[in-house]
Each structure stands twice: as structure tokens, then as C-alpha cells.
Structure 1
Amino acid sequence: MTIPAKPSPASRISTTGREMTVAELDRAGLLHADESVQISRFAVFIPADELGVLRPVVIERHAVIGAFAVVHGGATVSEQARVEEHSVVGKPEHGYAVGQIYPGNGSATVIGPGAVIRCGAVVYADVHVGANTVIGHYSLLRSGVQVGSDSVLGHHLCVERATRIGREVRCSPGSHITSATLISDRVFLGAGVRTINDKTLTWHDPLRQPTLLAPRFDTGAKIGSGSVILAGITIGEHALIGAGSLVTHDIPAGAMAYGHPARVQGEAP
């Protein structure tokens, strides 16, 4: 269906906290939609977060919201972006994780121009997805993740909180990107890559907080499928890690390394 632009401000309403149809959201003044958008009548909108704070939803021209997609308050779906069926955008973080309790507050979430959120993907609040980037089927982006433009994140990918992913990055299916990882421009991660940020395996310990050191991938680095990158490791610019490697030490720029543990074997081709 097509919803005309309606720039009225958000207001507190009696339906706080419950799901709304697009028509209900529009009547409540919480939908700011340009002309020519396409919103399925089966899409679901949740404008209030766990604390009862209402935020409008912005959908720009030629954007598409598919059937049974769930869009939370504070989300902006930019022009020509697509949110496909059964995906979730702008979900507030709620509960305990790694020494912190998340109260369920919403935040601004941006799906950039021409970006695509594939069926079943979950994008939490405070995430920014760059222009023309694709988030694969059933992938998960936790709070605070930023993804640059023209990147492709494959299906069944888990990207943990506060990770930064650059432009023209390829992350193949089935990989786990641990929290606060830095992935620079034009990095390639093969399928099933595992990253680690915790050397002590501390979880839910009231006597101490975990010391987390995320790995870093510099511009143009390439990581073969099935590799494991340990906490605090830096993979230098244009370095190449062979498939199935266990990386326990920094790899310098331009080097080729592989093995278990990985050792520098020469220069990357």
C-alpha cells in the first residue's frame, strides 16, 4: 500500500507498547512516510520501547517493507531500501550481556539508501547500515553495529555489539564477529570464520568484569574459511590468512600466513 507523507510529531498514546498496523501507526502520527513507498498490510510496527518511550518510524521514497517485517520506533528506512519478509529492524536490547544490563531503550536505527535487509535478518537498535549494503538471510546485527556502504554480509552471520565494518567488505555465511571488532574497508572474510575477544572466558561473574580485546582487520585483509582469530590480534593490510588457520599472533601487512598455529610463510600474492 502507499502511505502519503505525514510529518506530524510523535505523541504518547494509549496503545503504548503494543504492535500496530501501518494504518494505526499513521493515525497515531508516528509514521513519516514519503509518497511511493510500499508497505505490506501485514507489516508490524512497535513504536514504543520497553521504557514506554515512543519514537516515529521514517520511510523514505520508493522504500519497501515486506510482509510480517517488524519495524520498531526510531527506525529510518532510507530511499529505495528494502526490508524483506519476516525481518526485524530497530529492536531494543533488553537483558544481561557481558557485565551490563540493557534496559530495552530504543534508539535511532538507519537502513541506508538502496540497502537490503534479507528475509529473517534481525537488526537491533542503534545500528547503521550503509548505502547499497546487503544484510543476508537470518543474520544478526547487535546494538551499536555500523556497516559501511557497498558491503555484503552473508546469511546466518552473527555480528556482536559495537562492531565497525567498513566499505566494500564481504563477510561470507556462517561467521561470528565478536563485539567491538574493527573490519576495515575491502576486507574479505571467508565462510565460518570465528573471532574471539575474551582470553579469560569470564561471564556473569559479580566479582570481576571481563577484559575484552577485539581483533582488528586492516584494509584489504583476506581471511580463509574456517579460520579462528584470537583476542587482540591485528591482521595487517592486504595480509592473507589460509583456510582453517588458528591465528595467535599479529600478522604483518602484506604477509601470507597459515597453519595451526598460523605462521608467516611469505608474501601475499
Structure 2
Amino acid sequence: MTSRQPARIDTRDWTKLEAAGLLTIGANCQIDPDVRFAPQDETGQIRPILIGDHTHIGAGTLIHGGTRIAASVRIEDHATLGKPEQGYAVGHTYTGTGAITTIAAGTTIRSGAILYAGTTIGTDTAIGHRTLIRSHTTLGAHCNIGHGLVIERACTFGNWVRCSPLSHITSAVIAEDRVFLGAGIRTINDKHLIWNDTTGQEPDLVPPHFKTGAKVGTGSTILGGVTIGAHALIGAGSVVTRTIPAHATAYGNPARVRPTTETGAQL
């Protein structure tokens, strides 16, 4: 006996969605006719979509159920917002269940960006072209996230965080206020490289932690369990294998704390 799939809702008929209370569009919005709204997730659960006043949404964008967009947000072409997670990853199978996705006022989301369900984006934050942000990540206000980044699940960024292009931020990383991460940063949270162990062993994931005002130069790699102290500076191309104290300057492979009298590292 086969299970019946829930009936799908037409994602292009805005009038029916609005009449059913599944789509609310504020005043003075500019929304391309090719935008699609998908209030129903893969499990059949339905969540309304809310769009604030003066919001612009470009062609080809797909907005999933539970997405709440505040006023004066700009979303460029072919973005995807509120996408439910589906499939296997690190000991857990995701069933395509949606969640509330919140985008605060004044945010800009560039073309091709993908935000998964449960993401929260703060006021006046910018998300670069083709950047991927996974489920239940929180970005604070006034953040600047460059193009081509991957920010994995359950990361937490404070306010005024800057991430330059083409970096990989592993799951559950914490970056406190005013952290600056250069281009091509790599972060690691698994020291034993366990992904799908047939014996049932689960990975012990310990992500890096970037304290307030920490700065990491382009091309650096930060290993699992490492804390970069408040206002510390990591030079370009470094491999950081151990915790760096607050206000220190460190660089090299492996990175070592240098006396403050030496010439500073290049970002």
C-alpha cells in the first residue's frame, strides 16, 4: 500500500494564496511576476508568507512557507528563501520540514543566494551573490557577507560582522560582534573526519569561536575547538591549531603568537 502525498499548492497563483491567508504583501512593493511562493513544505505543513512594505523581489526568486520579510528589503533575481532541509547530513536525516525564516528591515540579498529554513537575518545586513546559508543560522544587524560563501547550520554571528568572499564557515561557529574574516577562510569542526560511520559512531563536532573584534587574514584555516580571542589578529595564510589569546598577533603554519614589537602580519 503506497502512502498518499499531500496535495500541492499552486506556487504561482498569488490571488488564491492571498485569499487563503497564506500570502500577505505590504504596500508599495515591487515584485516580479515570475516570483513563486511555496507555503507548503515537503511534509505537507503549511506556513504563511509575509512581505513588508517597500520590498523589492526580483525575477525567478522562490520563497518558501514561514518566510517573514520586513520592510524595505531588497531581494535580487533567483534567490531562494526559507528552503526546507532534506536528506542526510552528519548523523541526521532531514525530512523537508520548514521553519520560520526571518529577514529584518533594510536587508539586501543578492542574486542567487540561498537561505534555508530557520535562518534569521538582522537589520541592514547584506548577503552576497550565490552565498549559501544553512538552517537555523542567525546573523546580527549590519553584517556584510560576501559572495560565494557557505555558512553551515546553526552558526551565530553578532552585529557588524564582515565575511569576505569564498569562505567556508562550518556548522555551529560563533562569531561575536565586529569579527572580520578575510577571503577564502576555512573553518573545521571535526578533528576525526567522521561523516557516515557504519559502526554508528557519531562525530564529536567542536567548532571554532571568534571573540569580539577578532580579525583573520585571507586564506587562513582555523581548526576545530580553537578560540580566536577578542581583538586578536591572525595573519594571512595561517593555520591556527590552538587558541589565540585576546589582543595577540599570530601567524604562520602552525600559527604562533608573535611579540607585539615585531612587524604586524599582513591581512
TM-score (structure 1 length as normaliser): 0.92
Cα RMSD, aligned residues only: 1.4
Residue 225, structure 1, aligned to residue 218, structure 2: yes
Among 145, 161, 184, the residue aligned to 2:153 = 161
How many angstroms does 1:40 deviate by?
Answer: 1.1
Residue 186, structure 1, aligned to residue 181, structure 2: no
Counterpart residue type for residue 47 of structure 1? P
Among 116, 141, 155, the residue aligned to 2:108 = 116
Q: How many residues align?
A: 256
Q: Tell me what 1:177 maps to.
A: 169
Counterpart residue type for residue 68 of structure 2? T
How many angstroms does 1:24 deviate by?
Answer: 4.0
8 Å CA contact retained: 1:154, 1:174 = yes
Displacement over 6 Å in runs of 4+: none
- Long gaps (5+) in structure 1: 1-13
1:69-80 aligned at under 5 Å gives the runs 69-80=61-72
Flag the 1:84–1:260 CA change in 2: closer, same or farther, 3 A: same
Counterpart residue type for residue 226 of structure 1? G
Q: Tell me what 2:253 maps to.
A: 260
How many angstroms does 1:83 deviate by?
Answer: 1.5
Q: Tell me what 1:9 maps to.
A: none
* Distance in 2 of aligned mates of 1:182 and 1:38: 35
Q: Tell me what 2:21 maps to.
A: 29
8 Å CA contact retained: 1:216, 1:234 = yes
Residue 137, structure 1, aligned to residue 129, structure 2: yes
List per-residue Cα deviations over 1:99-121 (Å, max 9, x = no partner).
Answer: 00111111100111000111000
How many angstroms does 1:82 deviate by?
Answer: 1.3
Flag the 1:51–1:18 CA change in 2: closer, same or farther, 3 A: farther
Identity percentage of aligned residues: 50
Residue 238, structure 1, aligned to residue 231, structure 2: yes
1:56-71 aligned at under 5 Å gives the runs 56-71=48-63
Q: Tell me what 1:83 maps to.
A: 75
* Distance in 1 of aligned mates of 2:10 and 2:89: 25
Q: Tell me what 1:3 maps to.
A: none
Counterpart residue type for residue 223 of structure 1? V
Counterpart residue type for residue 245 of structure 1? S
* Distance in 2 of aligned mates of 1:82 and 1:115: 6
